[in-house]
Amino acid sequence: MLSVKEVSVVFGTKVALDRVSLQLGQAEILALLGPSGSGKSTLLRAIAGLEEITTGTISFEGRDLAGLPTHVRGFGLMFQTYALFPHLTVAGNVAFGLRMANLAPAAITSRVDEVLQWVGLSELADRRIERLSGGEMQRVALARTLAPNPRLVMLDEPVGALDRRLRERLVEEMADSLREAKLGVIYVTHDHDEARVVADRVALMNEGRIIQTGTYQAIVEQPADAWVADFVGSS
């Protein structure tokens, strides 16, 4: 479904992504696992079209995405900081992508209700963003990302900003929801447990490169090199 081939992103003299290749299947959940600064977020941004790639190709369902601006790609990207719109309510945030898709008002309302119910925030629909707790913000961000039925979902450290207990509970919930939705998902994290619980497959990143790809189990059992062994082992 998504195919990333030999993609590099260079900022000035710094190589953020170094000939990265990646495949994502239909309804597959892939975790991008790596230490901070390893290029995970840059890869997501490159796929979303927010970062211009220096070399290589990214294609989706066989079509090269080069030159296709972000807003017509139809992907969902949830930011680590959530990037909720402060001037809109909870419902306004969730409805945003639907409005951009020019859905009829009635269709927007019913889809917003549906999604908010699904993340358990129906009562907060009219609340302003700054009056939400961290966990509530996280769920609004997820609801906003999923509401327009994106063709591909990318989550950048979606629970990274939450405390540990909340994180564990939400990760389980989210893993179930994502499986249920049967979407292609790239899930960025630096947390091994999250990667293990959520993903079908894991891609290990370090210093702008993908070092090893496979199930979490396979990577732990057969690390590709000393760094991987150290990185998985030390967790």
Partner 1 sequence: MAGRVVRYLRIATLWGAPLLFIGYLFVYPLTRILAESLTGEGFAQLVDRERFRNAAWFTIWQALVSTVLTLIASLPLTWALSRFNFRGKQLVRALVTIPFVLPTVVVGASFHDLLPQGVLAILAAHVFYNVAVVVRTVGGVWGRIDPRVEDAAATLGASPGRVFRTVTLPLLRPALASAAAIVFLFCFASFGTVLILGGGRIRTIEVEIYQQAVSFLNLPVAGALAVLQLIFVVAALLVANRLQRRIGFDLAAEVSLPPPGPRHRLSVGATVFATLGLLAVPLVSLVGRSIERRGWAGLTGNAASALSPVQAIGNSLLYAAIATVIATGVGLAAARIIERRGGGWLDTAFMLPLGVSAVTVGFGFLLALDQPIDLRGSFILVPLAHALVATPFVVRAALPLLRSIKPELREAARVLGASPSQVWKEIDFPIIARALAVGAGLAAVVSLGEFGATSFVARPASITVPTLIFRLLGRPGTASYGTAMALAVILAAMTALLVLLIDRLRGSEAGTF
Binding region for partner 1 (CB under 8 A) out of 32-40, 76-84, 157-165, 171-179: 76-84
The whole-angstrom separation of Cα 113 and Cα 223 is 45
In sequence order, what DSSP letters do the residues of 186-221 get, joined into one string?
A: EEEES-HHHHHHH-SEEEEEETTEEEEEE-HHHHHH
The whole-angstrom separation of Cα 78 and Cα 81 is 8
Secondary structure element (H or E) that encloses residue 154, with its range: strand 153-156
Are 15 and 208 within 8 A, CB to CB?
Answer: yes
Of residues 166, 194, 180, 170, the one with CA closest to residue 40: 194
**Nearest distance from C-beta of residue 132 to partner 1, angstroms:** 13
Residues numbered 166 to 205 that lie near partner 1 (CB under 8 A) are none
Q: Which of 38, 91, 96, 132 binds partner 1 (CB under 8 A)?
A: 96
Binding region for partner 1 (CB under 8 A) out of 9-17, 30-38, 63-71, 197-205: 63-71
Q: Which of 11, 35, 50, 169 binds partner 1 (CB under 8 A)?
A: 50
Q: Which of 26, 55, 81, 235 binds partner 1 (CB under 8 A)?
A: 81
Binding region for partner 1 (CB under 8 A) out of 4-12, 31-39, 44-52, 208-216: 44-52
Q: Which residue has the tokens 């370090």?
A: 206
Q: Which of 37, 56, 74, 160 binds partner 1 (CB under 8 A)?
A: 74
Q: Which of 12, 36, 62, 87 binds partner 1 (CB under 8 A)?
A: 87
Strands 2-11 vs 153-156: parallel, antiparallel or unpaired: unpaired
Residues in the interface with partner 1 (CB under 8 A) total 26
Phi, psi of 118, deg, nearest 5 = -60, -40
Q: Interface residues with partner 1 (CB under 8 A)? A: 45, 48-50, 69-77, 79, 81, 83, 85-87, 96-97, 100-101, 130, 144, 148
